[in-house]
Amino acid sequence: MDAGTGAAPDLSPTTVTQLASSDDPRELQRTLREQPVHRVGDLFNLVTRREDVEEALRDRTGTFSWSAVGMNLGNIRPLIPLQIDPPQHVKYRRILDPLFAPKKMALLEDEVIALVKELVDTFAVSGSCDFHEEFAVPLPCRVFLRLMGLPLDDLDLFLSVKDDIIRPPGVTLDEQAPYRERAGKTVYEYFERHLAERKDHPTDDMLAQIIAGEVDGERLSDEEVMDICYLFIIAGLDTVTDSLDCIFAYLAQNPDHRRQLVADESIIPSAVEELLRWESPVPAVPRVATEDIEISGCPIKAGEQVMLVLGSANTDDAAHAGADEVDLRRNPNPHLAFGGGVHRCLGSHLARVELRVAIREFHRRIPEYELAPGTVLEYTTGLRSLHHLPLAFPAGA
């Protein structure tokens, strides 16, 4: 691998958006990896190679900060635990990690199966669906409401605030800011109301467990609980929708791979890991350097932002041979689709249950399908999902 050549080459912000929105971002990722770091105007530095991304995520030297990333998500206080740096960060993970541990999430499987079947029932007989609208969007939101013990009737409210925060109308940040602000206000008011209700009527759902959580004998404040819930809406709904869209679009267009997992359900867990690696629905994550550093010889000054491109790290064939192909049985597959280091996705084990169950149950009912004739897939920017995913399959399934 060649060493960096000092100054990082320049790249336009539109090229960067294609990391999520391109039909096949792997091509772009490959080109980007020819240089370890690209400067994107005054905005940030794109870090492209597996080794560098991994090291920055792991951040053994405490060089990188999330709290210093200036990102408007409509929140008035830092989102917990994402926008909290070590050493405070671990306090929150000690409370939250046990609630999202794999053994806890495995207990949800039956409920997720029921929700998946319910959704598939609504379109299976008809012979077509918009998988995005009718499955990928509602599933994670319903699972989340169940988990938190919130009314299912609030589904539409959650979906609209999530969209206004992640993909608000408007093009410039200034145009988008009022939507984010208004959605943020709605979220705070909503959880304020529900926290107050919980005090009068204790429950035993996850929200109750977060409220009761203690570290060193101390409970979280109401504000801290709200800052956690706020992050869940941003981190736990859209990401699963994105992953479902990416995975099912892939399987619709790659019938050989689809038939492989229909024929042998035991490969579904490794197929989920592989398609998360291949698609990297969260294409990149931000950090700010807190001191002057070098990444593969490229200087980064204190205060500058870096974007760690998980997608290109995941397909870096210089680090892992064969990373430029899909192998549903890949082993080993130490991918970074859920990030790494202290901010490793809190919800990864929940997401895995949702994705595995969705793939298994959907294909048991509808093993053969394709993109509806004439479909041109349009991937979104930011997080990689689809605007629509029209599927066609034999009617009466």
Q: Give the residues lining the site for ligand HEM (CB under 6 A).
A: 81-82, 93, 231-232, 235-236, 239-240, 243, 281-282, 285, 337-339, 343, 345-347, 350-351
Contact 248, 391 (CB under 8 A): yes
Nearest residue (CB) to other proteins, 119 versus 272 = 272
* Residue type at position 213: G
Residue 395: how many CB atoms within 10 A of its CB? 10
Would you count residue 335 as binding other proteins (CB under 8 A)? yes
Q: How far apart are the first and last CA of the chain?
A: 51
Closest CA to 231 of 115, 92, 339, 379: 92
Nearest residue (CB) to other proteins, 333 versus 375 = 333
CA distance 71 to 77: 12
Which of 344, 375, 377, 382 touches other proteins by CB under 8 A?
344
Would you count residue 266 as binding other proteins (CB under 8 A)? no
Which of 275, 336, 355, 389 touches other proteins by CB under 8 A?
336
Nearest residue (CB) to ligand HEM, 29 versus 243 = 243
Q: What CA dihedral angle connects 277, 97, 140 and 280, to 10 degrees?
A: -10
> Which residue shows structure tokens 């689709």?
337
Stretch of 90-98, 127-135, 211-219, 232-240 lying at the interface with other proteins (CB under 8 A):
90-98
Would you count residue 347 as binding other proteins (CB under 8 A)? no
Stretch of 96-104, 108-116, 190-198, 215-223 lying at the interface with other proteins (CB under 8 A):
96-104
Site for other proteins in 58-87 (CB under 8 A): 58
CA distance 229 to 30: 37
Residue 51, classified by CB atoms within 10 Å of its CB into exposed (0-12), middle (13-18) or buried (19+), is middle
Stretch of 14-22, 80-88, 343-351, 383-391 lying at the interface with other proteins (CB under 8 A):
343-351
Q: In what order do the strands lie in the sheet with 37-40?
A: 37-40, 44-47, 305-309, 284-289, 64-65
DSSP codes, 156-185: HHHHHHHHHHHS-SSSSHHHHHHHHHHHHH
Distance in Å, CB of 246 to ligand HEM, minimum: 9
Distance in Å, CB of 215 to other proteins, minimum: 12
Which of ligand HEM, other proteins, none does residue 240 bind (CB under 5 to 8 Å by kind)?
Answer: ligand HEM
Residue 45: how many CB atoms within 10 A of its CB? 23
Nearest residue (CB) to other proteins, 60 versus 201 = 60
Would you count residue 216 as binding other proteins (CB under 8 A)? no
Distance in Å, CB of 3 to ligand HEM, minimum: 27
Binding site for other proteins (CB under 8 A): 54, 58, 93-94, 97-98, 100-103, 269, 273, 331-336, 338, 340-342, 344, 348-349
